[in-house]
Structure formats: structure tokens, C-alpha cells
Structure 1
Amino acid sequence: MSARPKVVVITGASSGFDPGRDGSEVVSAVYDRIRAEFLHHIGIDELLTPRASL
């Protein structure tokens, strides 16, 4: 029995595992939606729109 790398054993991923596709895009999208809903709920959703600071 050959020793396999620990990451493969823990995640069950194949040797072609790409750490750049770890699901963080989905987490970021959910966080952005929740933050927007919260700011709208408390009445400061104008912070979501960029403005010139003159």
C-alpha cells in the first residue's frame, strides 16, 4: 500500500485538485447579497453605490 498525500486523504479529491476552485466565489456572492439586504434593512443602502468624493 503506497502512502498518499494527506490532502487527498482528507478531502477525497483526486490528484488534479485545483485549490483555486474552492467555492470561495459562492461564499463571496452570498456574503455580498446578505450585506446588501442588511444595509437596505437598516436604511443605509446608499453605502452600496459608489460616488465621487469631491
Structure 2
Amino acid sequence: MRPALFYDVASGSKDLGGVGCCTATKGFDEVSGLGVPNLAEVAQLLPPPSP
């Protein structure tokens, strides 16, 4: 996988009803998964449109 395809979300949390669930950390986590897609990088991987 190309790391530039995603912006890592490394801070924050998604507290579910005060149980302290899911804190963002470096790399893959339960809050943001792989992170936020870098659409400029993703677009470069797409084939050119057909005429």
C-alpha cells in the first residue's frame, strides 16, 4: 500500500456513551481506519477517461 494515499488521523477519539472507546493513534485504528483518503493521489491511479 502507498502511504501517500491516506492522511493519518493520529489524534482524537470516538467515545461511545462514556465507555472510553476508540482513541486515534498513529497508523490503523478503530476510529479512522487507514485515515482520510488523499484524493489527489487516488486520482493519479485512475485510468484516463475514454474518448
Question: Which of the five TM-score ranges fits, normalised by the shorter chain?
Answer: under 0.3
Structure with max Cα Rg: 1
More strand by share: 2
Higher RCO (CA < 8 A, seq sep 6+)? 2
More helix by share: 1
- So what's the TM-score if we normalise by structure 2? 0.25
